[in-house]
Amino acid sequence: MKPATFRYRRPETLDQALAELGEHGSGASVLAGGQSLVPLMNQRRARPAVLVDITRLPGLGQVTDAPGRLRVGALVTQAAFERAPGLAGRCPIALECLPFTGHLATRNRGTVGGSIAHADPRAELPLALLVLGGAAEVASAGGRRTIAAEDLFTGPYESALRPDEILVATAWPTTDELPGQAFEEVAQRHGDYTIASAAVALRVEDGVVAAARVGVGAVGDRPLLVPEPGAVLAGRVVDEDAAEAAGRAAADAIEHPLADIHGSAAYRRHLAGVLVARTARRAWERAVA
């Protein structure tokens, strides 16, 4: 399986990169780690006329600590993110979901920005960012804008980025805001086809849940933020009963679960509920620890 021909551009500055996109519009694709894009190109399911390789752009490869959030440059690889010092304390949900993201060799090259921009409905990082209430920082020739995670994933492999925009960083709210975080998934095969996933991030005040954000992945056409289980958990101690209630609420709230050879709709709905219950419980335990 060999890719179709393309013109290759490797700009040295962000402005040059944006100019390329501006010139070629939707005929151009951004190439970062390539772990999502190149398989599609090899299968000729993606055929960009122009490939803009941004991997050598300076200034996009840092993880910076900012108040209440980690700012992750778009070119930070998944492996580098996984090894970011203090990640376990600052953003445990990311650390928990990264080992499920592909394999060692794909994480060495695949970028955090690339995974977010690719918007695979089964991917782990988009779900984690959504549940944390993070955001994407996006640049175009016209300037910069921030897109909240809730507005970022618009469909299967569709994001709110315009063809002339490049994602330059993602912002990951930390345990300062949401100290209780957990992620879990069931995959058909480790590192590959996710059947269902769930993530919870919550804050505890006065011994009960003050705010809880719950999301499920791989059950719909995009990662889903599900308010109902959060409402169930609000004001409560998350014991087994509360966790199960949250799980049931999540399962009931999913309108049209995906059905395919790896899982029926009923199974995905059920599994999503199970995983929400488990992650709610773990997130609580971490928050009160």
Partner 1 sequence: MGAGGRVTAPGDEAVAVEVTVNGRRYREIVEPRLLLADLLRHRLGLTGTHVGCEHGVCGACTVRLDGLAVRSCLVFAVQADGCEVDTVEGLAGTGELTDLQRAFRAHHALQCGFCTPGVLMATEDLLARGEPVERADVERLLAGQVCRCTGYEPIIAAILETAESRRARA
Partner 2 sequence: MGRALERFEDDALLRGAGRFLDDLDPAPGAHHAAVLRSPHAHARVVRLDATRALEIPGVTGVLTGAEVAEGSRPFPAACPTEVPCYAAAADVARYVGEPLAVVVARDRYVAEDALDAIAVEFEPLDVRMDPRAVAAEPGPSLVSDRRFSYGDPDAAFARADLVVRETFAFPRWTCAPMECAGVVARWDHGDDSLTAWTNFQGPFTLHSVAAAALRLPGARLRLITPPDSGGSFGVKAVVYAAVVLMGLASRKLGVPVRWIEDRREHLAAGGASTQRTTDIEAAFAADGELLGLRLDVIEDVGAYIRAPEPATLYRMHGALSGAYRVRDLAVRNRVVLTNRAPTTLNRGFGGPQHYLPIEGAMAVAARRLGLDPADLARRNLIGADQFPYTTPSGGIYASGDYEGCLDDALALFDHGRRTAERDAARADGRLVGIGMACVVEPSISNMGYVTLVEPAEDRAKALPKSGNAEGASVAINPNGGITVRMSTTPQGQGHATVAAQVAADVLGVTPQDIHVVTEVDTASSPWTVSSGAYSSRFSGVGAGAVLRAAERVAAKLRVLAAAQLHCEPEDVVLADARAEVAHDPDASVSLRRLVGAAHWNPDGLPDGVEPGLHAVAFCAAEQLPPPDGEDHIVASGENGFVVDLVMVEVERATGRVTVLDYVSVHDAGRLLNPRLAAGQVQGGFAHGVGAALQERIEYGPDGALLTPTLKEYPLATPLDVPTPRTGHRETPSPLTPLGAKGLGEGTTMSAPVALQNAVTDALGAEHPVGLPLSPSRVWERIP
Binding site for partner 1 (CB under 8 A): 1-10, 12, 31, 34-35, 38-39, 41-43, 51, 53, 55-56, 79, 99, 102-106, 108-109, 189-192
Q: How far is CA 226 from CA 30, 123, 248, 267, in A?
A: 31, 17, 12, 18
Per CB under 8 A, does 2 bind partner 2?
A: yes
Q: Name 175's Cβ contacts closer than 8 Å, sequence gap at least 6.
A: 89, 90, 91, 92, 181
One residue of 7, 83, 190, 256 binding partner 2 per CB under 8 A: 190
Task: Give the integer Cα–Cα distance in Å for 100 and 125.
Answer: 10
Name the residue nearer to partner 1 (CB basis): 162 or 190. Answer: 190
Parallel, antiparallel or unpaired: strands 28-31 and 50-53: parallel
The option from partner 2, partner 1, none interacting with 109 (CB < 5 to 8 A, set by class) reads: partner 1
Six token digits for residue 184: 């879990």
Q: Name the minimum Å distance from CB 225 to partner 2.
A: 23
- The two three-digit tokens of residue 189, written as one number: 């095969």
Burial 231-250 (b: 16+ CB within 10 A, else e): ebbeebebeeebbbbbbbbb
62 binds, among partner 2, partner 1, none (CB under 5 to 8 A by kind): none
Shortest distance, CB of residue 239 to partner 2, whole angstroms?
A: 17
The neighbouring-strand residues paired with 186 are 196
Minimum gap (Å) between residue 79 Cβ and partner 1: 7
**Considering CB distances under 5 to 8 angstroms, the limit depending on partner class, which of partner 1, partner 2, none binds residue 153?**
none
The DSSP letter of residue 83 is T
**Helix, strand, or coil (residue 48):** coil
* 166 neighbors 32 (Cβ within 8 angstroms): no
Is 2 or 261 the residue whose CB approaches partner 1 more closely? 2
Instruction: Decide if residue 252 touches partner 2 (CB under 8 A).
Output: no
Of residues 196, 277, 278, the one with CA closest to residue 244: 277
How far apart (Å, rounded) are the C-alpha atoms in residues 157 and 151?
14
Question: Which does residue 53 touch among partner 2, partner 1, none (CB within 5 to 8 A, set by kind)?
Answer: partner 1
Among 274, 280, 283, 287, binds partner 2 (CB under 8 A): 274
Size of the site for partner 2 (CB under 8 A): 25
User: Residues 12, 192, 205, 285: which binds partner 2 (CB under 8 A)?
Assistant: 192
CB of 282: closest distance to partner 2 in angstroms?
A: 14
Q: Which stretch binds partner 2 (CB under 8 A): 72-80, 135-143, 200-208, 266-274?
A: 266-274
The answer to whether 44 contacts partner 2 (rule: CB under 8 A) is yes
Q: 222: helix, coil or strand?
A: coil
- Shorter beta-carbon distance to partner 2: residue 10 or 278: 278
| Angstrom distance (rounded) from CA 264 to CA 18 | 43
- In the list 83, 142, 188, 227, the residue contacting partner 2 (rule: CB under 8 A) is 188
Cα 265 from Cα 267, distance rounded (Å): 5
> Where does this chain bind partner 2 (CB under 8 A)?
1-5, 43-44, 186, 188-193, 195, 260-264, 266-267, 270-271, 274
